[in-house]
Amino acid sequence: MFNLVDLFISYRKMLGKLYKTPRKIPELLEKTLVICMAHQFAKAYRLHLREMEELEDIRTEDTEYSYTDKEGFSFIQTAPAAANRTGQGTVPGSFENDKDHYMKVFLNFFAKELTRLFEAGNYDRIVIFVPDDMKHITEEKLRYLSDRVEFIYGNFTKHQPLELVEKIYHEKFYLFPLEKTIVDRKN
């Protein structure tokens, strides 16, 4: 026979780190998916009430970039069907072209994973931290979720999860319940 408390604890450990939000920040009543993006990966968190839980990172091997020769040329991996027709699996490119290519590859993958996470987790809202140079392309890619997404611009991938919660509270305070926010701000 197993103990339910032990089962719950092992389940929590399996999901990821769990953080408690500071008391000065009101509970977030909506179940929120928090995403902190970089150019080739994103960190994901579940934020609800006073808990923030770290989820699995969003990344794909298709964006791993490497130079292949000394002159600064590199190669973009092409689709397998194209490789079979031409006998090659790569196309020569330059760093800037490859950077844009890999950013688009990541955004396509990211949009699919975000949709999957959003639907599987039954979230009410998404807050995405987006680097400034990816602002427009990310908004365009996620316009189908525009009524559920809040964007915060800047590079925040090296920030601690609770710093992200504070940033959300300061920039998107309207996401938090009004009554508690007024009471907390008076104290």
- The Cα–Cα gap between 102 and 108 comes to 10
Q: Which of 47, 80, 45 is nearest to 62 (CA)?
A: 80
18-57: pLDDT as tens digits: 999 888 888 889 999 999 999 889 999 999 999 999 999 9
Contact indicator for 32, 53 with CB cutoff of 8 Å: no
Residues 57-84 pLDDT 10s: 999 887 665 555 555 555 555 555 444 4
CA atoms within 13 A on the CB side of 183: 8
Q: Look at 12-16, 118-122, 138-142 and tell me which has the smallest mean pLDDT.
A: 12-16
* CATH number of the structural domain spanning residue 127: 3.30.420.60
C-beta atoms surrounding 152 within 10 Å = 17
DSSP string, 115-143: HHHHHHHT-SEEEEEE-GGGHHHHHHHTG
Task: Supply the mean pLDDT for the chain.
Answer: 78
- Per the CB < 8 A criterion, the answer to whether 58 and 35 are in contact is yes
Domain-located, residue 5: no
Is 11 domain-assigned? no
The answer to whether residue 69 sits within a structural domain is yes
**Model confidence at 9: pLDDT above 60:** no
**pTM for this entry:** 0.72
Whether 10 is in a domain gets the answer no
Q: How many CA atoms lie within 13 A of 75 on its CB side?
A: 11
Work out how many domains the chain is built from and give that number: 1
